[in-house]
Structure 1
Amino acid sequence: MREIFAWNGVLASQLEYFEARSGQLSMAEAVADLLRDDSEDISLQSARVLVIEAETGIGKSLAYLIPAILSGRKIVVSTATLNLQDQILNKEIPLIEKVLGQQVPVLCVKGRQNYLCHYRWFQYRATMRMSLLDDPEGDKIEKWLEDTATGDRSELAWLPDRSALWPKISAQSSQCLGSDCPESAFCFINQLRKKAGSMRLLIVNHHLFFSDLALRSSGFGEVLPRYEGVIFDEAHHIENVATQFFGRTFSQFQLLDLFADLERQAELDLDPAAVDALRKAVQGLSQRLDHFLRLFPQERGRYHLDALVERISDAVWRSEIDQLSLSLKRLQAQIAPYDGHGEGWGNFDKRIVELMENLQHIALPAETGAARYVHWYERRERAITLSATPVEIAGHLRDNLYGAVRFCVMTSATLSSGGSFDYVKDRLGLDDQAEYLRLYSPFDYRNRSLIYVPESSFPEPTARQYPEKTSERVLDILRISRGRALLLFTSLKAMDLVADFLDGRLNYPVLVQGRASRQNLLDTFRHTTDSVLLAVASFWEGVDVAGESLSCVIIDKLPFEVPSDPVLQARIRTISDNGGNAFFDLQVPRAILSLRQGVGRLMRSATDRGVIAILDVRLFSKGYGRTFLKSLPPAPVVRSLQELSRFFGDEGRVV
């Protein structure tokens, strides 16, 4: 690795602006050592695990990709975001091929829903032709199918993100006919799997990886070919993503999709009388579903299911579940005679069975032995979803991940809390044999940045005057920084309040999440040097704006999760019941990881310079504030606006 990453190594000879970084070399050597292990005594129950916190500027993707490729092993690289996948495939891999002088056998595998299904496409086209309606989008796709080798919707730049057409023709797992499909010989998914089997390096996202892992654990097949090791980049997302795939859901959307698919198949395969009979059965189930959904309050959000059951009574709840299940069984009986009419009818039976099983598992936990799960529901704008979520994911990872691979690397810029890996070790079920490596950012935070926290008289977030004072202080900071700031909020309400306050008071362009697409906002922010961008949620990470346009990051308060969330409450209760302190063992570490992600938006290159402003005096007024401060970059901490003015210079420009 030294011959590649050192100051006089291969990378330096190939790249004009390459800067040797000791942290990058250390990480590459650690990954290479892990993958080089040929010990015969490595059992299937004890994968070698390496956890690497590689802060901004380390260059971690090259540090794990090069040793993975040179190892000759079959490795899966799993990322949380599409942006990182694109970076690996379009930037890192071509560079590595140039440096190593060899082709890299790599393939990006996406979720099934990203690929067109020939069988569903032909169904859709036949239905549209029977209806005699114009179909301009379908005409474009038909032309595209003459040329595409992948069937990947990303090739359709003109197709809207929320296309109504694509869900009708994509390769959803619930509608897949498998080997019974008459189009299996032309299936893009089958072709992708064959190609993946011959590749040494597969690039996937966390959702696909854990859907494959959950499928393997259920004994119903697999999505990815067998591999020796997995490298998780953006590994701080592992717990949340894995939780989704080892739980169960029953949603209004699942039933509506079933209804639409049934009607479309019936129109193709059945005579008019049978179509009418099936429509009546679907209509009856739809009415029963509407009746069931009226049990749920109108307030949007996530709530405990047992609280709802207690309010309406066990007897009423059980009766509704029984009647909804009975309606599903009636629909199942209605379609049973049509099994010989076409390949899709047997699959409908499987979908109905899965819906019934999930409904029973989630809605009647006492009868399904689901004590290790938290049962909750979520009402959104247009749908209700019922879920059973594992309270702890550690056991699932020990059983299904660490016991299935020889090597596992987990890396991210944010995995430690207060300098300790205890949180990630506990939540991800890592044993004492796991190895840890912490690599600090090479960026000069001490001389090129400041951390600003308001003076002690500034109100805490729980104070009545906090929103008003925060808006005023944000305006003060933006005038000093002359815009050029990313403002990160913990709630939409707080963001909207500050956005309204700034309206007419600030002489710089103000961009607000929700008023344009994410990409449009970022492009405008990046190319309009003095603009200000207000955002929540996804903008806390993945925003990479180097240079003067982002010279200030303002965070409204410490990002503690909403304490009323059912999953969080269940985890808090479990930790407390086991004698732990949930606030310090769970809530503080999770908030620290989120805060570090937000803070990391400031320094994206060695020449960047700016201010991190955290408008939460609890960093000094509360004991746990010291743990947060210990987790922040080693920049000087100031508490007066005069210090910010001096930092930015008399003209408010970065000097």
Structure 2
Amino acid sequence: MTRSRQPNSKHASSKETVAKPAAAKGAVAVSRLAAEVQRAFLPDGVLSKHIQGFSARTSQMQMAQQVSEAIASKSNVVIEAGTGVGKTFAYLIPAILSGKQVIVSTGSKNLQEQLFFKDLPALVAMLGIEPKLALLKGRNNYLCQWRLDKQMSEATHIDARLLDDLLKINQWASTCKDGDIGGLTSVPENSSALPLVVSTKESCIGKRCDFYDACFTRKARSRAMDAKIIVVNHHLFFADSVLKDTGFAELLPDPDVVIFDEAHLLPNICVNYFGQQCSSRTIDDFIQKLLAIYQTELSDTGQLAQFCQRCLAKLSDWHNQLYSCDESDWRLVLGNKALAAASWDLLAELTALQNLLMAHIGRSELLDDIAIKLAELNNKLSVFFNCDNNLAAYSIEFGSRFVVLRISPINIARECQQLFVPETSWIFTSATLQVNRSLIHFAREMGIVDAQQSILDSPFDYPRQAVFCVPRQLGSVTNQQQALKQLVEVCVQAIDAAQGRTFILFTSHKMLEQAALALRTRTQYPLLVQGQAGKQSLLTKFRQLGNAVLLGTSSFWEGVDVRGKLLSCVIIDKLPFVSPDEPLYRARADNVSRQGLDPFTEVSLPQAIIALKQGVGRLIRDEKDRGVLILCDNRIVNRYYGQAFLNSLPPMARTRDLDKALEFLRQIP
């Protein structure tokens, strides 16, 4: 995929613009595709004939027309389509009927699989055409035959339980067609065998591999290159477009059209892919592999073992010093002279190991591969330790055993403009893109210009279906003990009125844990708390119980769809502002301040509005749903910026009287 072409002059500005009218030839193409798409949505169209009770919504037809025009005229469009618009069909039908090669990128594997296994097959059958379809996942979703073979060859040294799982995987590998680990049912999802046998960029040796012709990842790429509609997720799209892929060049073709669903996730994903990261786990893995090579292939090279042990000692010392500090901003960490010295000492040992490996190039293919990758890693560590990019945030994340260093750009617009080349139609859609009834924040952040921008409101009757309550008696949320006490009191009353059937969404794990502890003795309904089990397990149990209360943090604010009477109440502890100490926010805020702008208005407020909209969106998922949203944060009504939040939310009936909200809940059967 060639995405490094420079944008032309019309893509060089961040000013909000509207797509220019198509030229004469383009206009004919627009009208032809638009007319064909429109016929599909008519009362006597294919959708009405094949879907019982189908009735096209005005907003759905508008979106389908806008997508059709963007595809036919090679222009760009940003569309917020509220819940219930039916955006999936509104972009898939133009994509199919256009006959062009289209990549559809989603924010989650669940939606990716829904599109490929359900929506696309149904639509192509209705439309009576048979374009080639492909589902492509990240390489770590595919079995690597070379890694599996290597594990099986070392079976005598493997733990019995691990060996049992490897034998089951080996048996499955002999019969499966695509190598997609998602189709492996004989081994648990959390099996320690899976990380040992899936395809990885680090382990791939490309055409030198004995299994190259049979490689599942290579075959998946080949299917994608030949398909008309390719379904991927955002992480794969940007990993392929920005990082490129070792062993097979790019995985994705150069498409005519790219459609991003769940586009609100793109800014954070782009920050990761346009930045850099390095895990100390990678360092440890390289050293352990080199020790294994010494024991099996190069036992005559005692220096290899000595240098590896020295690196492990320096890595251990570095880890110990890092874990003794409590700071996520890497710049501040390096302000500690002892830690800075330990960092450079580690790099010096790794560089010495790299030089030793170069002296033994050609003696082992595995050693040769690690030598190249270790050199890349050392260069990356040097960048982290020099820490001299003023246009990036440097941060450190602590895991149970290893740390991850990150460099995050504070402005991704320039990189995105180079990625979003004018030869391709770029379509961005989500239920949550607008801030204060404008899409300009998203467009500016992503570097999207010369694009039509459209807000299509949900067709749901929010004033009738939902009540939004900010209880009048609330105190300040800045006093944590007071905030916890008032939150628990509101929750107890709402849970009783809703007979369970409640989501309580938190902005911090600490508040979640404290509230869960307090509620255990205050309610008779089952409590499901994030961390007790996986996300999908908790949601399944919530649906099965029918009267449960689920407590969750950020992962439950979006991508959760519970319809009908099972969910009648959503309670949010406070407005989801990012912590001012978060390194990326701090770097962005400093950059905005240097431009004479207000960091709160330009960075913090828009992010919080989008996040709140995601949480609010859990409540009403269907035209028959009814429910109450309770926000335990009175800043939305007594601070100047509160109106921006209110303007961005669905038009629910509003009240400050908690008793009225509770009465509405009691009336929901």
TM-score bucket (shorter structure):
over 0.9
Q: Which residue of 1 aligns with 2:62?
A: 26
Are the aligned partners of 1:482 and 1:653 in contact in 2 as well (CA < 8 Å)? no
- Are 1:348 and 2:378 an aligned pair? no
Question: For 2:416 and 2:626, how far apart are their aligned partners in 1?
Answer: 40
Which amino acid in structure 1 is aligned with residue 210 of structure 2?
A: P
Question: For 2:112 and 2:324, how far apart are their aligned partners in 1?
Answer: 39
User: C-alpha displacement at 1:281, in angstroms?
Assistant: 2.7
Give the one of 563, 580, 583 matched to 2:580: 563
Q: Which residue of 1 aligns with 2:168?
A: 140
Q: Which residue of 2 aligns with 1:62?
A: 89
- Are 1:643 and 2:660 an aligned pair? yes
Q: Which residue of 2 aligns with 1:241?
A: 269
Change (3 A) 1:49 1:140: same
- Are 1:329 and 2:351 an aligned pair? yes
Question: For 1:564 and 1:260, how far apart are their aligned partners in 2?
Answer: 36
Question: For 1:538 and 1:265, how far apart are their aligned partners in 2?
Answer: 41
- Are 1:619 and 2:636 an aligned pair? yes
Q: TM-score, normalised by structure 1?
A: 0.92
User: C-alpha displacement at 1:381, in angstroms?
Assistant: 2.6
- Are 1:286 and 2:312 an aligned pair? yes
Are the aligned partners of 1:527 and 1:549 in contact in 2 as well (CA < 8 Å)? no
Q: Which residue of 1 aligns with 2:510?
A: 493
Give the one of 171, 180, 203 matched to 2:208: 180
User: C-alpha displacement at 1:225, in angstroms?
Assistant: 1.9
Question: For 2:309 and 2:423, how far apart are their aligned partners in 1?
Answer: 48
Change (3 A) 1:131 1:498: closer
Give the one of 599, 602, 615 matched to 2:616: 599
Question: For 1:232 and 1:218, how far apart are their aligned partners in 2?
Answer: 25
Which amino acid in structure 2 is aligned with residue 232 of structure 1?
A: F
Q: Which residue of 1 aligns with 2:569?
A: 552
Matches within 5 A, 1:46-125: 48-125=75-152
Identity over aligned residues, as a percent? 33
User: C-alpha displacement at 1:364, in angstroms?
Assistant: 0.4
Are the aligned partners of 2:344 and 2:385 in contact in 1 as well (CA < 8 Å)? no
- Are 1:305 and 2:330 an aligned pair? yes
User: C-alpha displacement at 1:569, in angstroms?
Assistant: 0.6
Unaligned runs of 5+ in 1: 39-47
Change (3 A) 1:263 1:60: farther
Are the aligned partners of 2:201 and 2:245 in contact in 1 as well (CA < 8 Å)? no
- Are 1:362 and 2:384 an aligned pair? yes
Which amino acid in structure 2 is aligned with residue 308 of structure 1?
A: V
User: Which secondary structure does the structure 2 equivalent of 1:296 belong to?
Assistant: helix
Q: Which residue of 1 aligns with 2:407?
A: 388
User: Which secondary structure does the structure 2 equivalent of 1:203 belong to?
Assistant: strand
User: C-alpha displacement at 1:220, in angstroms?
Assistant: 10
User: C-alpha displacement at 1:308, in angstroms?
Assistant: 1.7
Which amino acid in structure 2 is aligned with residue 311 of structure 1?
A: N
Which amino acid in structure 2 is aligned with residue 298 of structure 1?
A: S
Question: For 2:570 and 2:157, how far apart are their aligned partners in 1?
Answer: 57
Question: For 1:219 and 1:180, how far apart are their aligned partners in 2?
Answer: 9
Question: For 1:438 and 1:620, how far apart are their aligned partners in 2?
Answer: 25
Q: Which residue of 1 aligns with 2:26?
A: none
Q: Which residue of 2 aligns with 1:251?
A: 279
User: C-alpha displacement at 1:206, in angstroms?
Assistant: 0.8
Question: For 1:320 and 1:11, how far apart are their aligned partners in 2?
Answer: 65
Matches within 5 A, 1:503-542: 503-542=520-559
User: Which secondary structure does the structure 1 equivalent of 2:217 belong to?
Assistant: helix
Which amino acid in structure 2 is aligned with residue 459 of structure 1?
A: G
Are the aligned partners of 2:84 and 2:459 in contact in 1 as well (CA < 8 Å)? yes
Q: TM-score, normalised by structure 2?
A: 0.90
User: Which secondary structure does the structure 2 equivalent of 1:295 belong to?
Assistant: helix
Are the aligned partners of 1:56 and 1:441 in contact in 2 as well (CA < 8 Å)? yes
Question: For 1:287 and 1:616, how far apart are their aligned partners in 2?
Answer: 50
Are the aligned partners of 1:484 and 1:550 in contact in 2 as well (CA < 8 Å)? yes
User: Which secondary structure does the structure 2 equivalent of 1:63 belong to?
Assistant: helix
Change (3 A) 1:262 1:520: same
User: C-alpha displacement at 1:450, in angstroms?
Assistant: 0.5
Are the aligned partners of 2:169 and 2:187 in contact in 1 as well (CA < 8 Å)? no
Give the one of 398, 408, 412 matched to 2:417: 398
User: C-alpha displacement at 1:292, in angstroms?
Assistant: 2.0
User: C-alpha displacement at 1:219, in angstroms?
Assistant: 14
Give the one of 37, 42, 46 matched to 1:6: 42
Q: Which residue of 2 aligns with 1:44?
A: none
Question: For 2:210 and 2:245, how far apart are their aligned partners in 1?
Answer: 29
Are the aligned partners of 2:493 and 2:662 in contact in 1 as well (CA < 8 Å)? no
Question: For 2:157 and 2:316, how far apart are their aligned partners in 1?
Answer: 31
Change (3 A) 1:218 1:101: closer
Give the one of 462, 479, 492 matched to 1:445: 462
User: Which secondary structure does the structure 2 equivalent of 1:430 belong to?
Assistant: coil
Change (3 A) 1:279 1:127: farther
Unaligned runs of 5+ in 2: 1-36
Q: Which residue of 2 aligns with 1:460?
A: 476
